[in-house]
Amino acid sequence: MSILQLCERIQAAWLSRIISESTWGYPIVGALHVLAIALFGAALLIPLAQGVELRWLRRIGLALILTTGTLLFASSAARYYNSTFFRIKIMLLALLLLNAVVARHDGRKMHTAIAVVLWAAVIFAARGIAFL
C-alpha cells in the first residue's frame, strides 16, 4: 500500500468523515488548533523574557495542537499529502522534535530561541498550505 493509498484510507475513516462532511466540524477543530497555538506560543515566549516556568501549560497546549492537527490532517489526508507546504511543515516539525531532544542534553536558552524561529516558520508553512 502506497502512502497515498494509506491517506485515502485515513480520510475514509468515520472520524475523518465526521469532520470533513459536517458544516461545523472543520471550522471548530481548526479554531481550536489556532487557540492552542496561541496558548502554546505564549507559554513558549514568556519564560524566555520572564524566567517564569510554564512547562505544564506548554504540554497542554502542545497536546491540543497535536490532537487537533492530526484530526485536520485526517479529514483530507490525501490533499495534505500532496501539498508541498504541508510536507515542508512536517519537516519543520521534525526539526523541532530533534531540537527538543537535543535540548534535553545541554543548555536551554539557545534551544528555546531555535524553537521560536522554527515555530514561526511552521506558521508560515501552514498558511502556505491554504494558499496553494
Gap between the Cα atoms of 76 and 40, Å rounded: 25
The correct pick among 8, 20, 41, 83 for binding other proteins (CB under 8 A) is 41
Q: Cα–chain-centroid distance for residue 105?
A: 24
Q: Which of residues 22 and 70 has its CB atom nearest to other proteins in the complex? A: 22
Contact 92, 118 (CB under 8 A): yes
The correct pick among 1, 2, 56, 106 for binding other proteins (CB under 8 A) is 56
Smallest separation (angstroms) from other proteins to the CB of 22 = 11
For helices 14-21 and 3-12, angle between their N-to-C axes, nearest 10 degrees: 70
- Among 7-15, 53-61, 74-82, 107-115, which window interacts with other proteins (CB under 8 A)? 53-61
The correct pick among 7, 10, 19, 37 for binding other proteins (CB under 8 A) is 37
Gap between the Cα atoms of 61 and 54, Å rounded: 11
Q: How many CB atoms lie within 10 A of CB 40?
A: 21
Instruction: Count how many Cα atoms sit within 13 Å of the Cα of residue 86 in the half-sphere of its side chain.
Output: 16
Instruction: Count how many Cα atoms sit within 13 Å of the Cα of residue 102 in the half-sphere of its side chain.
Output: 12
Tell me which residues in 95-124 interact with other proteins (CB under 8 A): 120, 123-124
45 binds other proteins (CB under 8 A): yes
40 binds other proteins (CB under 8 A): yes
Residues that bind other proteins (CB under 8 A): 26-28, 30-31, 33-35, 37-43, 45-46, 49-50, 52, 54, 56-57, 120, 123-124, 126-128, 130-131
